[in-house]
Amino acid sequence: MRITIVLMIAGTIAAVPTAQAQDIHRGRQLALGVCAVCHAVLASQARSPVADAPSFEAVAATPGMTAAALNVWLTAQDHPTMPNIVLSQTDVQDVSAYILNLRE
Ligand code: HEC
């Protein structure tokens, strides 16, 4: 599964910038504006608009999911939309912080 590969890559990157100044609220706005066309981005949403796209709650609940793993995923070319969506480093940190915040 792809996420396994992502986690393996993440493990090899020691110095992924971690979240100091991430802004969960801004990440939520970004998720709603950019990601919600395909993903269920809110905790209350059961289904993603695009069946293949996991809900952000499910992403957050993935064992071993970390900001570093999300950082790799969101900056890799693997994501189906990444040629179209350009996220700054701050965007990636904020949206990752939002996703991880969904974890209960
Ligand atoms: C055009 C539709 C679309 C948009 C927009 C989109 N995604 Fe995705 N995303 C997908 C699909 C489809 C997958 C599943 C791809 C796969 O597993 O190969 C996916 C997978 C993911 C994964 C990996 C989940 C996992 O556990 O494997 C993450 C994280 C993710 N998306 C985050 C985001 C974020 C954050 C945004 C907004 C910045 C976003 N996506 C925007 C369609 C989209």
Is the C-beta atom of 56 inside 6 A of ligand 1? Answer: no
**pLDDT given for residue 100 in this prediction:** 96
**pLDDT given for residue 3 in this prediction:** 59
**pLDDT given for residue 80 in this prediction:** 80
**pLDDT given for residue 73 in this prediction:** 87
**pLDDT given for residue 23 in this prediction:** 94
Ligand 1 atom nearest residue 99's Cα: 35
Among 28, 34, 35, 78, say which to mutate for ligand 1: greatest number of ligand atoms within 8 Å of CB: 35
Query: How far apart are alpha carbons 60 and 45 in whole angstroms?
Result: 14
| Residues of the chain predicted below pLDDT 70 | 1-21, 77, 82
Is the C-beta atom of 37 inside 6 A of ligand 1? Answer: yes
**pLDDT given for residue 91 in this prediction:** 94
Atom 3 of ligand 1, residue of closest alpha carbon = 38
Query: How far apart are alpha carbons 43 and 103 in whole angstroms?
Result: 9
